[in-house]
């Protein structure tokens, strides 16, 4: 047998026949342990880094003198470092861990040659680190979501391929012919993300297209990173963890099919609505508006499916750390998506465009939906990977309430403040001139931006509690705590009282 054929034979992840399911899952968890721990550790560390830069950028918005003596911490650099640390550091590492683990479990196969996955993960994080350093030292681009210097893109691209290919291999060699809902979303996203990233890098940075095509490509990329990368991964996680923890099947398989294919069909067009009023073809804007409104279909059917699956089990949702975060994320997906469709209407867009409302909407989707869902997934996955329970329910409660209250305050502040900002920006006096001076609008925004910083402090406390609990769990011995059952947020006697 040739070495090449021998290698391809060795990556076949199918287990031996006749092995009990429980033993198969245990073997999958054992073989996924090192790469999952690497990805989750990296994700949590990037979460802290991104939070620090977020606080710096947020405070500078209402107190411009803050850290003014540090050139590498100007608002433009700190804000871009925050965005890229959260998207490519926290978000992608969390996805690599949770999505690959779900794919392995549903496919009933494990990762062979896990060392390649670990090396690829290490190079991914080296690439993100180089990108953040490049941003802070002034090497950033002016393209939102692609601020990292273009030189790091090949390293990120190769690392991504070496990570994502294992998801495809596991799906290809899945033990059962049936394809689960979560597998559709994960597999689709694994193909969509490199398609988006390569086209955006090529048309904007490597071989720049002329004129407004760059702006169209930029919004197409930035919006679809949310809709065709973070969203399907978040929904795939919800479709796995919600029925898994509740011990019941998903409400409707057919609604799942409709939700997936309508998302794949319509979301690709939605980003263009951010260019309403811009110098681009009218038909393109109209197509973007139609695509955004049609997104109501996958959002509503997914919300119905999630709600009907959880209906009658709210006590379990309240007790389980996983379900608290997952359900919060699922509800946020519905609200954020419906708000996004409304923002595509011309009468609404004329007010919200260029305001803090759009920033609030982005945080609604990326944090309240995606990040909260990933938190829930990690709370479920790690005890099985490490064979030990989370050491502190109090730290989980601290994490949940700080995150939930913090992001709620942020959304209210940015949505309300942004809406008032938009109304003031378009208001005219009797002579048809702007009614409010620019500085008047800025002064009006200060209390709302200060509220945003307060919410950021709550999020930071929650993230710190998550960090402490994780490393406490990681460092702990395989104690008898694992024999006491899962870590719950409500004891049985308290549950009965409620």
pLDDT in tens, 49-82: 999 999 999 999 999 999 988 999 999 999 999 9
Residues near 420 by Cβ (< 8 Å), separated by ≥ 6? 444, 448
Kindly tell me if the per-residue pLDDT of 17 is higher than 90. no
Using DSSP, state whether 477 is helix, strand or coil: coil
Q: Which whole-number Å values give the CA distances from 319 to 237, 397, 425, 487, in the listed order?
A: 19, 10, 46, 9
φ, ψ of residue 437 to 5 degrees: the values are -75, 155
**pLDDT category of residue 222 using cuts at 50, 70 and 90:** very high
Residues near 136 by Cβ (< 8 Å), separated by ≥ 6? 72, 73, 77, 81
Kindly tell me if the per-residue pLDDT of 431 is higher than 50. yes
> What are the chain's domains?
18-177 (1.20.120)
Note the pLDDT of residue 407.
97
Contact 85, 53 (CB under 8 A): yes
Note the pLDDT of residue 7.
61
What residues does 434 pair with on adjacent strands?
Answer: 428
First-last CA distance in the chain: 66
Residue with tokens 């245990």: 26
Note the pLDDT of residue 224.
93
Kindly tell me if the per-residue pLDDT of 417 is higher than 50. yes
Q: Which whole-number Å values give the CA distances from 107 to 3, 8, 175, 179, 212, in the listed order?
A: 27, 19, 6, 8, 44
**pLDDT category of residue 15 using cuts at 50, 70 and 90:** low
Burial of 25 (C-beta count, 10 Å sphere; 0-12/13-18/19+): middle
- In percent, the amount of the chain with pLDDT more than 70 equals 92
Kindly tell me if the per-residue pLDDT of 125 is higher than 50. yes
pLDDT in tens, 35-51: 999 999 999 999 999 99
**pLDDT category of residue 236 using cuts at 50, 70 and 90:** very high
Classify the C-alpha dihedral 353-354-355-358 as positive or negative.
positive
Q: What is the mean pLDDT of residues 338-345?
A: 94
Note the pLDDT of residue 497.
36
Average pLDDT, the chain: 91
pLDDT in tens, 138-171: 999 999 889 999 999 999 999 999 999 999 999 9
Q: What is the mean pLDDT of residues 416-433?
A: 95
Nearest to 365 by CA among 392, 395, 331: 331
Kindly tell me if the per-residue pLDDT of 498 is higher than 50. no
Q: What is the DSSP letter of 451?
A: H
* Least confidently predicted of 26-30, 294-298, 405-409: 26-30
Note the pLDDT of residue 274.
86
Note the pLDDT of residue 490.
66
Note the pLDDT of residue 453.
97
Q: What is the dihedral of CA 97, 45, 83, 163, to 10 degrees?
A: -30
- In percent, the amount of the chain with pLDDT more than 90 equals 77
pLDDT in tens, 432-489: 999 999 999 999 999 999 999 999 999 999 999 999 999 999 998 655 455 556 676 6
Q: What is the mean pLDDT of residues 201-207?
A: 92
Contact 299, 338 (CB under 8 A): yes
Interatomic CA distance for residues 404 and 399, integer angstroms? 8
Note the pLDDT of residue 115.
85
Q: Which whole-number Å values give the CA distances from 204 to 49, 141, 150, 405, in the listed order?
A: 27, 10, 10, 38
pLDDT in tens, 207-221: 998 888 999 999 999
Q: How far is CA 102 from the centre of its chain?
A: 16
Kindly tell me if the per-residue pLDDT of 269 is higher than 50. yes
Q: Which whole-number Å values give the CA distances from 258 to 181, 253, 307, in the listed order?
A: 11, 9, 16
Note the pLDDT of residue 71.
92
């Amino acid at each position: 047998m040739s070495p090449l054929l021998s290698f391809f034979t060795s990556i076949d992840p199918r287990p031996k026949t006749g092995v009990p399911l429980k033993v198969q899952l245990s073997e999958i968890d054992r073989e996924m342990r090192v790469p999952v721990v690497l990805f989750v550790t990296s994700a949590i560390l990037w979460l802290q880094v991104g939070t620090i830069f977020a606080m710096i950028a947020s405070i500078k918005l209402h107190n411009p003198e803050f850290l003014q003596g540090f050139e590498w911490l100007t608002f433009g650099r700190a804000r871009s470092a925050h965005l890229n640390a959260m998207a490519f550091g926290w978000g992608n590492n969390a996805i690599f861990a949770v999505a690959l683990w779900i794919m392995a479990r549903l496919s009933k196969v494990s990762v062979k040659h896990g060392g390649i996955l670990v090396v690829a993960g290490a190079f991914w994080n080296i690439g993100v680190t180089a990108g953040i350093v490049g941003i802070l030292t002034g090497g950033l681009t002016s393209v939102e979501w692609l601020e990292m210097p273009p030189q790091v893109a090949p390293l990120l691209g190769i690392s991504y391929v070496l990570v994502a290919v294992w998801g495809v291999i596991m799906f290809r060699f899945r033990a059962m012919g049936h394809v689960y809902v979560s597998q559709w979303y994960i597999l689709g996203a694994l193909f969509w993300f490199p398609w988006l990233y390569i086209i955006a890098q090529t048309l904007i940075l490597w071989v720049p297209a002329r004129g407004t095509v760059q702006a169209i490509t930029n919004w197409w990329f930035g919006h679809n990173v949310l809709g065709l990368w973070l969203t399907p991964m978040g929904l795939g996680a919800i479709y796995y963890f919600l029925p898994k923890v509740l011990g019941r099947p998903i409400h409707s398989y057919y609604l799942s099919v409709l939700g997936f294919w309508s998302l794949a069909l319509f979301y690709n067009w939605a980003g263009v609505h951010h260019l309403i009023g811009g110098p681009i073809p009218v038909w393109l804007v109209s197509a973007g508006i139609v695509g955004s409104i049609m997104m109501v279909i996958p959002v509503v059917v997914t919300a119905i499916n999630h709600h009907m699956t959880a209906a009658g089990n709210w006590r379990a949702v309240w007790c389980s750390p996983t379900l608290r975060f997952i359900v919060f994320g699922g509800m946020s997906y519905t609200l954020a998506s419906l708000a996004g469709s409304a923002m595509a209407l011309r009468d609404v867009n004329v007010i919200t465009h260029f305001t803090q409302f759009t920033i609030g909407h982005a945080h609604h989707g990326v944090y309240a939906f995606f990040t909260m869902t990933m938190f829930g997934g990690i709370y479920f996955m790690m005890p099985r990977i490490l064979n030990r329970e989370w050491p502190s329910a109090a730290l989980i409660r601290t994490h949940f309430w700080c995150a939930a209250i913090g992001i709620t305050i942020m959304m209210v502040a940015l949505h309300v403040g942004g809406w008032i900002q938009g109304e003031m920006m378009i208001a005219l006096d009797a002579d048809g001139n702007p009614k409010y001076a620019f500085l008047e609008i800025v002064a009006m925004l200060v209390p709302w931006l200060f509220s945003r910083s307060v919410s950021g402090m709550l999020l930071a406390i929650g993230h710190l509690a998550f960090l402490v609990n994780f490393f406490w769990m990681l460092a702990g011995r395989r104690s008898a705590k694992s024999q006491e059952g899962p870590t719950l947020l409500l004891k049985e006697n308290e549950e009965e009282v409620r």
